[in-house]
Amino acid sequence: MMAEGREIHPAKRGMTGKIRVPGDKSVSHRSVMFSAIAKGAVRVKNFLEAADCLSTAACMRALGASVERREDDSLRVTGVGLHGLKEPAAILDAGNSGTTLRLLLGILAAQPFFSALAGDASLSRRPMGRVVEPLVRMGAAIRGRDANRFLPLAVLPREGRLRAMDYESPVASAQVKSAILLAGLYADGKTTVEEPALSRDHTERMLGAFGARIRREDATVTIEPVDELFSPEEIIVPGDISSAAYWLVAASLIEGSDILLEDVGVNPTRTGILDVLSAMGADVTLSNERESGGEALADIRVRSASLRGTSFGGAIIPRLIDEIPILAVAALFAAGDTVISGAAELRVKETDRLQAVTTELNRLVPGAVEATQDGMIIHGGRAPSPAVCRTYDDHRMAMSLAVAGLAGEGVTLDAPACVNISYPSFYQTMDRLVQ
């Protein structure tokens, strides 16, 4: 098991330098998917060349769109229009990507042809009922394991338009919302999604840039069907704040650090991590703020600081759901206790992240973390020890534990390669910053 393990040594000095983090995963997925169902060709710059986004690109190719890699590392996507997709010859493989699967279900629900979707072992364990159920209400015919909740899923041909609906979502989930909005493009009237709190709004922003008739009021979004979507000439994908998060925390914790993260996406539905780190006393400043394709970008400077514990939950959770593992690491090194609540959704990610974070951080500092039903309590400020930790083949666990090792007394990761899902160059960047 340890043959492919990786040892992370404690940082001997502060981290300094400039970093460009990989393109935003959420925006990369959508840029290819929406371009594929639009008219025209679009150049996508800073597309995230990682496994999840490549799964989306492969699925859209299988459905008839052209997705080509250019010499300048951009992607050229030539769409087939809203009604131009064709029946795939084979099963569509979403790999490990929940985003690919859930958003694609929204598009496929309306198509006049048969399609089938599968994924890897981890994705096959993740429940899809919260997306399938509203799509079925709109008239989609979706079949799968365990009452149509688990992969593989088959989407049967749809004759005529889907039914428009007003949907009150029980959870704030960008993926559920996006699937319904994409299906709403093919419906017979206005479709509205109301959430208990505002989730990420990348879909709304980008569909608007493609000419969709979409409007938002607080946590309610309405979309109207259109005959066609039209591609912008260019989409610049901002750097992923979820990938920046590891360096924000590492530089905060490691004395003498001063790093600049360039061109990071600071979409307000994603910046919960900046709010929490500020509350913990982090030294984080934004500059060069601007916009591309409806998305906000900025350069973020972070310098080392003494962090203190805090409490967060409720409406902020959807704005930082992916960053909770790395925020738990920040809390482990902060003075005092940190209480995280309202994060039950983490139990159905790539792994049960609440349990995974609790188990692994307790290897570094025994008894420091208590799991609760929907979050955790972290008793910070105790001295960590070196340990061998499990990544659970979960990219966010691997990177969070690597930061804990850097800031503490080192860590050995059992399966480090899973970072390829979202940040293939993570370890190279880490080695460069701490040289």
- The Cα 429–Cα 242 span in angstroms is 15
Q: Any catalytic annotation for residue 52?
A: no
Residue 298: its H or E element: strand 295-303
Using an 8 Å Cβ cutoff, are 125 and 350 in contact? no
Report the half-sphere exposure of 296 (CA within 13 A, side-chain side): 15
Using an 8 Å Cβ cutoff, are 183 and 110 in contact? yes
157 prior amide bond cis, ω within 30: no
213-292-240-219 Cα dihedral, nearest 10 degrees:
-30
C-alpha distances (whole Å) from 287 to each of 244, 252, 262, 283 are: 15, 18, 9, 13
| Pairing, β 213-217 against β 220-224 | antiparallel
In this structure, how many other beta carbons lie within 10 angstroms of the beta carbon of residue 54?
18
Q: Residue 104, Cα to own-chain centre: how many angstroms?
A: 15
Q: Which of 52, 299, 322, 394 is catalytic?
A: 322
Which positions are annotated as active-site residues? 322
